[in-house]
Amino acid sequence: MIDSLQSVVAQTSPQLKLRWLTPEPSTPRPLRGDDPEQSLIGSLNLIHPNRLQVVGPPEQRYLSGLGHSAYSEMLDKLFADRLAAIIFSDGITPTREFMERARASATPMLASPLGDQELINHLRYFLTQAFAERTTIHGVFIEVLGMGVLLTGASAVGKIELALDLIGRGHRLIADDAPCFARIAPEVIEGRCPGVLQDFLEVRGLGILNIRAMFGESAVLPNKPLNLIIDLQPLGHPQFANCLEGSLSAMTILGVRIPRVTMPVASGRNLAVLVEAAVRQQILRIRGYEASADLIERQARAIHQAHPEPLAQA
């Protein structure tokens, strides 16, 4: 669980080459401050200070140009903000005054040889993932034609068999049974598989299958944005009454509305082909094309051509 500065450093140090300039805090250093809207990481900012303040070459040049009095006032304000930590990028070595203020205020300081923007971008992505709202939904999450598709429905309705059929047609498994979804942007829900279930698919009568081992590396995917939900229901479901518009609705997950298609399940129906068609149809919707609206417009034109309106009387 990512809930402290120490846990972030432990997980990102191999890639970011972070090292402690001050002693590592003996107790967990929280990343969240009193203000929930405060940015977690960014370049040095005294007006809207980030919890993790990054000092790179531009900031270093600015600090070097300050007079002694202005530099001292800047340090007073910086360390009074009770930051989670200060990180020096590009191999920058902090001044003696910086180190003294950090020790006096018990503010952790770290350094990395990486560039400031690379460091900020990586940590911002990492922290966005770590602090995202999350939920788990029962179903099978699979990539179909580049779209993240969640197959839902009652137990024994055929979700697993459908997923296995789709994998055999070249699509990719992300998660079976308990995919975890996180809101990583205002309108983006990303799904991934819990680590212990990665690559596995449970099929009644066959047991546990390792999809990676059976179909190869290209048959699995670690994560994917959720684009469409396909809910498998018996053929008599009331939503199937409207043949023209289909059964498109929406499901709200973590505050984001996700398109949902309710698909009838009956003997003899090729569900894998229907799922592919549903995904292609959703891609067209995203591009602004709706087949039912096109058909209605064609019918209206045909009716108008067959029965033109009479000319108005003079």
Instruction: Report the pLDDT value the prediction gives residue 119, as an integer from 0 to 100.
Output: 95
177 with 291, same domain: the answer is yes
Same domain, 147 and 117: no
Spatial CA neighbour of 123 closest among 48, 12, 36, 5: 12
Give tens-digit pLDDT for 198-241: 999 999 889 999 999 999 999 999 999 999 999 998 876 665 55
Q: Is position 199 within any domain?
A: yes
Report how far residue 169's alpha carbon sits from residue 273's, in angstroms, rounded to the nearest whole number.
10
Report the Cα 196 to chain-centroid distance in Å.
Answer: 20
Spatial distance between the Cα atoms of 212 and 126, rounded to a whole number of angstroms: 26
Q: How many domains does the chain have?
A: 2
Same-domain pairing of 204 and 159:
yes
Same domain, 183 and 251: yes
Global pTM value = 0.75
Domain identity same for 151 and 293: yes
Exposed, middle or buried by CB within 10 Å (0-12, 13-18, 19+), for 128? middle
Query: Is residue 304 assigned to a domain?
Result: no
Per the structure, the complete domain to which residue 270 belongs is given by 133-297
Give, for 232, the enclosing helix (H) or strand (E): strand 223-234
270 and 170 within one domain:
yes
136: left (phi over 0), alpha (psi -120 to 50) or beta: beta
Residue 195 in any domain: the answer is yes
> Domain boundary residue among 73, 102, 131?
131
CATH code of the domain in which 201 resides: 3.40.50.300
Whether residue 113 is found in the same domain as residue 37: yes
Q: What is the SS3 assignment for 174?
A: strand
Is 164 contained in some domain?
A: yes
Same domain for 195 and 71?
no
Distance CA 142, CA 220 (A): 9
Model confidence pLDDT, tens digit, residues 20-58: 999 999 999 988 877 777 888 999 988 888 899 999 999
Q: Domain check: are 108 and 176 in the same one?
A: no
In a domain, 303, yes or no: no
- Find, among 125, 126, 94, the residue nearest to 109 by Cα: 94
Looking at the chain, the whole-number percentage of residues with pLDDT higher than 70 is 94
Q: Do both 72 and 97 map to the same domain?
A: yes
CA distance 126 to 131: 9
Query: Are 107 and 255 within one domain?
Result: no
**DSSP SS3 for 21:** coil
Picking from 68, 100, 131, the residue at the C-terminal end of a domain is: 131
Do 248 and 215 sit in the same domain of this protein? yes
- 286: closest CA among 146, 152, 142, 179? 146
On whether residue 69 sits in a domain, the answer given is: yes
pLDDT at 1 over 60: no
